[in-house]
């Protein structure tokens, strides 16, 4: 076979997503993966505008978090600090907004609410932020109530920077997989395992949920991002344990937990099953695939890609055998 059919097949495979060329992967939650629209809708970005500083000025910042009931967001305690660096049980910025259910911040999906109250844990770097309106169409995170074990595997979502030296916050939610490396009184160590060994949380991932993905489609939050080395890095960061403060969380949130929508998959208007969160959500992820939405799409088309390659090769062979001057139509690359 000459080089043209080979190049055509490769081009078709790349176009259809079966082959990924070097340098095409998206990285953040340092060296993580982009999250497809409709996935992990419980993920929250907290945007703080006008935080007071010690010199009398103001600054802006952001954190990540996770919806645990219609009106409450779980995040890190240090996301709410006053000008003296003290954790406080109140919104510290002039305005704090919560963007929920929006993987792409440039879209109008999901909801935007205002944080009206904050509660701080007395023991862990964990806080709760109350919203000014209930969000009832997104299945929230469930609370882990059992002691984590070394070796447990979890996933992290966050809206943090691409690396520790970046200043531009990404517009899309990112994710990566982690493993529990140590268990202490109020924190656990969590080290990145995929897509790379140095997958790690970055600034503004603070408060992002580490969660396990259950067979019934629900997600159980095990910890929230607390602190760690400059990203990206190998080895562990520390996350605030949820099982040790689950009773306190329940005492604060109360009946709002019972008002949460079901996390089980539901049928969309078209009659096809979709993850909790309604029609338009991405298809369920294959168990333990560790792949984001782009990779899931790549695995969904191998038969189409191979068939297209075979058709392309056959067409070029026919072209080589055809008489000169014949009319040949070139297929589009779509």
Higher local confidence (pLDDT), 221 or 272? 221
pLDDT at 178 over 90: yes
Is 25 within a domain? no
Question: 45-81 pLDDT, tens per residue?
Answer: 999 999 999 999 999 999 999 999 999 999 999 999 9
Above 80 in pLDDT, residue 230? Answer: yes
In a domain? residue 332 = no
Q: Any idea how long the chain is?
A: 334
> Are 232 and 149 within one domain?
yes
Pair (118, 206) in one structural domain: yes
Cα–Cα distance, 156 to 234 (Å, whole number): 15
> Does residue 267 sit in the same domain as residue 177?
yes
Q: Are residues 62 and 143 in the same domain?
A: yes
Residue 156 domain flag: yes
Question: Does some domain include residue 280?
Answer: no
Give per-residue pLDDT as tens, 98-144. 999 999 999 999 999 999 999 999 999 999 999 999 999 999 999 99
Q: Say whether both 234 and 311 belong to one domain.
A: no
Containing structural domain, residue 314: 3-18+301-321
Residue 10 within a domain: yes
pLDDT at 116: 98
Cβ-in-10-Å burial (0-12, 13-18, 19+) of 34 comes to buried
Model's pTM, two decimal places? 0.72
- 101 secondary structure, DSSP code: S
Q: Please indicate, yes or no, whether residues 126 and 264 belong to a single structural domain of this protein.
A: yes
Q: Mean pLDDT in the chain?
A: 79
Indicate if 14 and 73 belong to the same structural domain: no
The confidence band for 258, taking pLDDT boundaries of 50, 70 and 90, is confident
Of the chain, the percentage scoring pLDDT greater than 70 comes to: 70
Question: Which one, of 246, 231, 236, 250, lies nearest residue 188 by Cα?
Answer: 236
The answer to whether position 289 is within a domain reads no
Q: Are residues 157 and 199 in the same domain?
A: yes
Q: What is the domain-level CATH number for residue 266? A: 2.40.10.120
Q: Answer yes or no: do 37 and 99 share one domain.
A: yes
List C-alpha distances in Å: 295 to 18, 163, 195, 212, 286. 9, 22, 11, 20, 11
Q: Does residue 23 fall inside a structural domain?
A: no
How wide is the angle at C-alpha 53 spanned by C-alphas 47 and 57, nearest 5°?
95
Q: pLDDT (tens digit, 9 = 90+) per residue, 16-33?
A: 433 433 333 334 489 999
Residues 118 and 222 in one domain: yes
Classify residue 326: in a domain, yes or no.
no
Number of domains, the chain: 2
Same domain flag for 220 and 248: yes
DSSP string over 183-207:
E-SSEEEEEEEES-TT----TT-TT
266 shares a domain with 317: no
């Amino acid at each position: 076979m000459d080089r043209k059919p080979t190049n055509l097949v490769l081009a078709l495979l790349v176009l259809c997503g079966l082959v990924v060329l070097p340098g095409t992967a998206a990285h953040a939650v340092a060296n993580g993966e982009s999250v497809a629209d409709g996935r992990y809708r419980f993920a929250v970005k907290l945007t703080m505008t006008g935080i007071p500083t010690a010199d009398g000025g103001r600054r802006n910042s952001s954190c990540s978090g996770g919806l645990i009931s219609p009106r409450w967001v779980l995040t890190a305690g240090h996301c709410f600090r006053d000008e003296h660096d003290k954790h406080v049980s109140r919104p510290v910025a002039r305005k704090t907004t919560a963007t929920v259910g929006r993987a792409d911040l440039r879209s109008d999906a999901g909801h935007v609410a205002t944080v009206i109250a904050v509660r701080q844990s007395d023991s862990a770097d964990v806080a709760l932020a109350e919203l000014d309106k209930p969000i009832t169409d997104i299945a929230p995170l469930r609370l882990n109530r059992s002691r984590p074990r070394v070796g447990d595997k979890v996933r992290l979502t966050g809206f943090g920077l691409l690396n520790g030296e970046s200043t531009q916050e990404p517009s899309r939610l990112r994710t990566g997989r982690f493993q529990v490396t140590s268990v202490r009184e109020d924190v656990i160590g969590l080290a990145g395992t995929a897509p790379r060994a140095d997958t790690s949380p970055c600034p503004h991932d603070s408060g992002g949920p580490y969660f396990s993905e259950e067979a019934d489609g629900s997600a159980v939050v095990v910890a929230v991002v607390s602190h760690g080395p400059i990203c990206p890095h190998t080895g562990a960061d520390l996350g605030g344990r949820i099982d040790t403060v689950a009773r306190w969380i329940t005492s604060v949130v109360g009946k709002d937990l019972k008002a949460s929508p079901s996390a089980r998959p539901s049928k969309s208007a078209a009659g096809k099953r979709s993850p909790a969160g309604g029609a338009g959500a991405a298809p369920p992820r294959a168990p333990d695939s560790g792949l984001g939405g782009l990779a899931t799409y790549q695995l969904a088309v191998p038969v189409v890609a191979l068939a297209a390659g075979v058709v392309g090769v056959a067409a070029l062979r026919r072209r080589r055998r055809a008489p000169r001057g014949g009319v040949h139509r070139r297929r589009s690359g779509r």
